[in-house]
Chains A and B, each alone.
Chain A
Amino acid sequence: AQSVTQLDSQVPVFEEAPVELRCNYSSSVSVYLFWYVQYPNQGLQLLLKYLSGSTLVKGINGFEAEFNKSQTSFHLRKPSVHISDTAEYFCAVSDRDMRFGAGTRLTVKP
């Protein structure tokens, strides 16, 4: 069965700084990979997904992620964060069904 590890539970950064949220997965078969964002008191919103093709995936709100098969990673990046990016971010992997990581709380400070 697949599993997901988000390596940082909390990431504090200053506004306009770059950020990387790390995600590693394990699976014995080909997988699809996802990043979701959850703003306070809201549901989950899809940021981006990797199904196949180019390993660099661009999503909404200026986020992108790179699929690295050899390192089994799917790290999320943004070159310059805003206060409004403060949220919890979840990495997920699916083959037959979907598994989520424990989440990374991104806090953007002024």
Chain B
Amino acid sequence: EAQVTQNPRYLITVTGKKLTVTCSQNMNHEYMSWYRQDPGLGLRQIYYSMNVEVTDKGDVPEGYKVSRKEKRNFPLILESPSPNQTSLYFCASSLAGFDTPFFGQGTRLTVV
């Protein structure tokens, strides 16, 4: 089954404690991206990757890091989380940046 898998689905953490949200896709897609969803703001792109070892900033990259060492995986790293990063996060993948993305189920992160 074609899917994008995010883990964990729910996470509560404390300010400053490094965390990683994993994302994996099984469709051999070139393009992967991370979004955060906040009420009244829709989905905003954090980072994207057009291919292995190629990543670039989206609209709201501050406080986040990503890596793309393999085509299937695109982890999101918060080196020092802060309460304003409390949000719902989605990973997505597609054949290309303009193509129809497949979304993961989301990760609800709370930073206290």
Report A's interface with B, CB cutoff 8 A.
Answer: 4, 6, 9, 32, 34, 42-44, 46, 49, 90, 92, 94-103
Interface string of B95-112 (1 = CB under 8 A from A): 001111101111000000
> Please, what's the 1-or-0 string for B27-69, where 1 marks a CB less than 8 Å from any CB in chain A?
0000001010000111111001000000000100000000000
- Main secondary structure, interface of B, reads loop
Q: Does A34 lie within 8 Å of B90, measured CB to CB?
A: no
For B6, the closest partner residue in chain A by CB is A43
Looking at chain A's contact residues, the main secondary structure is strand
Q: Is the CB of B105 within 8 A of A102?
A: no
Q: Is the CB of B45 within 8 A of A101?
A: no
Known contacts: A32-B98, A43-B90. The answer to whether A97 contacts B45 by CB under 8 A is yes
Residue ranges of B at the interface with A (Cβ–Cβ < 8 Å): 33, 35, 40-45, 48, 58, 90, 97-101, 103-106
- Determine whether the beta carbon of B105 is less than 8 Å from that of A98: no
Contact B97 A103 (CB under 8 A): no
- Name the residue in B33, B42, B44, B99 with the highest tally of chain A Cβ atoms < 10 Å from its Cβ: B42
A94:B98 contact, CB within 8 angstroms: yes
Is A96 within 8 A of B97, CB to CB? yes
In the complex, which of the residues B97, B101, B104, B106 has the most CB atoms of chain A within 10 Å of its own CB atom? B101
**For A90, what are the chain B residues with a Cβ–Cβ distance below 8 Å?**
42-43
Identify 16 residue pairs between A and B in the complex whose beta-carbon atoms are under 8 Å apart, listed by A's number: A9-B40, A42-B106, A43-B105, A44-B90, A46-B100, A49-B100, A95-B98, A96-B97, A96-B98, A97-B45, A97-B98, A98-B33, A98-B97, A99-B45, A100-B35, A100-B42
